[in-house]
Amino acid sequence: MDPKPPPAPGTARDGTRRPARRRRPAARSRVVAGALSAVLFLGLGAGMAANQAGTATATTAGSSATGSQDDGGSSSSGWAATPGSSSDQSAMTGSQGS
């Protein structure tokens, strides 16, 4: 014998309609609070457009860059540059400042 199909949403097993569940005032307050706390979105794109090799790495590289260095902490450890070796060939650019 086939099992009895479940009642439609909002319908009791005897087929009568259930009264609509009323939202409690506290729940409404939470909804309002949630709407008020929603942040504005600039519409400039949360991620980087990814259609080419260099750009496709943007989000990933940006995320990795924000890993250990992006904690907003006050530590200044690991702030030293690494000197070059004396036997290297070199390219050249300049730091003149702005």
Partner 1 sequence: MAAPSGTAELRFRAMGCDAHLLLVGGPPGLAGLARERVEELERRWSRFRPDSEISRLNQLAGVPVRVSPATLGLVRRALQGARVTGGRYDPTVLGDVLRAGYDRSFERLGGGGGSSALGHGWERVVVDPAASAVTVPAGVGLDPGGIGKGYAADLLVEELRAAGAAGVCVNLGGDLRADGQAPGGGSWVVAVGHPLRAAPAATVTIERGAVATTSRVRRAWGPAGDRRHHLIDPATGRPAATGLAAATVLAAQGWQAEVLAKAAFLGGPGQGRALLVAAGADGLLVDDRGCLHSTPGFGRFTGAGRPGREPLEVAG
Closest CA to 6 of 21, 15, 87: 15
Q: Does 55 bind partner 1 (CB under 8 A)?
A: yes
Q: Does 34 bind partner 1 (CB under 8 A)?
A: no
Q: Does 53 bind partner 1 (CB under 8 A)?
A: yes
As a whole number of angstroms, the distance between CA 53 and CA 68 comes to: 25
Q: Return the amino acid letter for 1.
A: M
Scan for tokens 């009642």, then name that residue.
Answer: 7
Q: Does 47 bind partner 1 (CB under 8 A)?
A: yes
Q: Does 41 bind partner 1 (CB under 8 A)?
A: yes
Provide the binding-site residues for partner 1, judged by CB under 8 A: 39-42, 44-48, 52-66, 69-74, 76-98
